[in-house]
Chain A
Amino acid sequence: MDLLTFLDQNLSRTFFLLWEHVWLVALSLVIAMCIGVPLGVLITKKKELAQKVLGGANIIMTVPSIALFGLMLPVLALVGHGLGKVPAVIALVLYSLLPIIRNTYIAIKNVDPALVDAGKGMGMTKWQLLREVEIPLAVPVILAGLKTAAVMNIGIAAIAAYVGAGGLGVFIQQGIARSHEAMILTGALGVSLLAVFVDLGMSSLERLLTPKGLKI
């Protein structure tokens, strides 16, 4: 019952940290999407770039998150943002890139070449083909990439509390420091539940945005 007492006494703070957490993840996801989707589309047209871009995103992904914060600290310190929300958002954007770029690339690549041939043969421009056929058909897979990135980032954002980014990670970090079990549990449960809800939400969005002709 410690947990409920803790929640009762810290309700507004909990909601504030939850809001901060969501905000961090959402902002970084939007930025990553704005970079990742066009980049993913671009590399389907420029084969020589594809290996480099995917390889680069892959390397970023393999760096442990806590190490990435450490690596960015001296660089961002030069512009006065070594700690706080800026390094957190940058790290989250970088981590999100791989699933988003990779899924966009694969989805567009997997569009039946006969459709592309038919479209071109009828006089569609590359842009028309993308807008009318390739992207609508790729939407489910691109959204799956966004979902992966979102769920992953909810976890990484919890670690970002160590560089002072805020979010539910603060409870975990401070709870560990003070051996405050209820506090740790609140943070941990909050992050976990958030991840589950976001996963469910994104899945239904995926179903909603899948073109009708693909669902039959």
Chain B
Amino acid sequence: MIEYDSVTKFFGVGKNAVTANDNVTFEIKQGETAVFLGPSGCGKTTLLRMTNRLESISSGNIRVAEKNIMDVNPQKLRLSMGYVIQQIGLFPNKTIADNVAVVPKMLKWNKEKIKDRTDELLHLVKLDPKIYRDRYPVELSGGQQQRVGVARGLAADPEILLMDEPFGAIDPINRNQIQDEFLKLQAKLKKTIAFVSHDIHEAIKMADKIAIFKDGKLVQFDTPEVILMRPANKFVSDFVGADRALKVLGLLKIRDAINPHPKNIVQAESNAEETLKMMEEQGLKFAIVLKGDKVLGHVTPKLLKYEQGKLKDLAESFPEELGTREPLRDALSAMLLHDVMNFPVMDDDGKFAGTISYKNIQKAILELYADDHDE
């Protein structure tokens, strides 16, 4: 846990003093990733650098694991936290293994343990130790170097990881990939992470909580959903962008909007005439054909008219399969692309879990808004 308590930072003195952080108070809970977000010069990096005492604190307190960091020797403090920066900063005179081993060596681990840990970490960041262990940083691409940077930050298994725009200098395709991998890693490792970014997309993707800064002040600290749907002021709403409702679609999963008990379900063995009658009575324009818990396709009254026989022979198959874990954005995209208003959703085992429609999506988003009025 990292607690920021009225943290203030000035650079310079007297009239020329610049306030980098102004009375910032919030806390990052154990195992959470907090992204410090804001335009350049908003104080996000300074706050991160105060956390491991690379910058001094002008007033206020920072507590890590309930200990005031000013009571801890700066070197010891830093050894207990991973530190990953945008420029990566791998030591060019050391091999990849030696770069990863910097902190364990300072902690005086024995050689055997260091070697095992180095290989384990290189595996973890998807670099084969056999190939990369004895190479030098210049022989690696930018993306590979930052994987090593992340491995180095994790080397002594610190509780806390400080990351200063760690993926900022990597090309977009690699960045996406390394972000995904890091998320998977974090799901296992559950580190407490302070993560500086200026990219709203990255923040939404990586964060459990986002802290938005402007001119050194903390403007809003909340989950990505709330930041997107209920920005605290114009600055935040401008920063997250006019398309923030669309960004929510990337954030929410289909399971957040699914209709688990849809009415428009028909069985594969039913025959066409009966089904048509039933659909007309209930005013259904669209029905999903199931066989057990497998989806066969869909039928419409128009399709069933003048037809006889079983639905399983008549149903039209769906052009795309959607899973509960996919983002709502993908569901909406599928609906627009294929002009289908209602999609079945499969669970992880490929069984029918419910349906999703425009209305379900709209409702899920409105619910996020609605929370606003309850408070």
On A, residues with C-beta under 8 Å from B are: 112, 114-115, 117-125, 128, 132-133, 136-137, 211-214, 216
Hey, which chain B residues are within 8 Å of A136, CB to CB?
93
A117–B45 CA distance with the chains assembled, in angstroms: 13
A122–B104 CA distance with the chains assembled, in angstroms: 10
Distance to closest chain A CB from B120 (angstroms): 19
Instruction: Determine if B54 is an interface residue (Cβ-Cβ < 8 Å).
Output: yes
Stretch at the interface among B75-83, B264-272, B367-375: B75-83
On B, residues with C-beta under 8 Å from A are: 52, 54, 74-79, 83, 85, 87-95, 102-103, 106, 136-139, 152, 162
A/B pair count, beta carbons within 8 Å: 77
Distance to closest chain B CB from A139 (angstroms): 9
Hey, which chain B residues are within 8 Å of A114, CB to CB?
85, 87-89
Hey, which chain A residues are within 8 Å of B79, CB to CB?
122-123
Distance to closest chain B CB from A20 (angstroms): 39
- Contact: A124 with B106, CB < 8 Å? yes
From A115, which residue of chain B is reached at the shortest CB distance? B89
Between A and B, 20 residue pairs with Cβ closer than 8 Å are A112-B87, A114-B89, A115-B92, A117-B85, A117-B87, A118-B85, A118-B87, A120-B54, A121-B54, A121-B162, A123-B74, A123-B76, A132-B94, A133-B91, A211-B92, A211-B93, A212-B136, A213-B137, A214-B138, A216-B139
- Contact: B93 with A123, CB < 8 Å? no
From A214, which residue of chain B is reached at the shortest CB distance? B92
- Contact: A115 with B91, CB < 8 Å? yes
A137–B152 CA distance with the chains assembled, in angstroms: 20
Top 10 A-B pairs, shortest CB-CB distance? A118-B89, A114-B87, A213-B136, A123-B78, A121-B83, A211-B93, A123-B79, A114-B89, A136-B93, A213-B92
From A133, which residue of chain B is reached at the shortest CB distance? B91
Hey, which chain B residues are within 8 Å of A128, CB to CB?
106
From B89, which residue of chain A is reached at the shortest CB distance? A118
From B93, which residue of chain A is reached at the shortest CB distance? A211
Hey, which chain B residues are within 8 Å of A121, CB to CB?
52, 54, 78, 83, 85, 162
- Contact: A137 with B89, CB < 8 Å? no
Distance to closest chain B CB from A141 (angstroms): 13
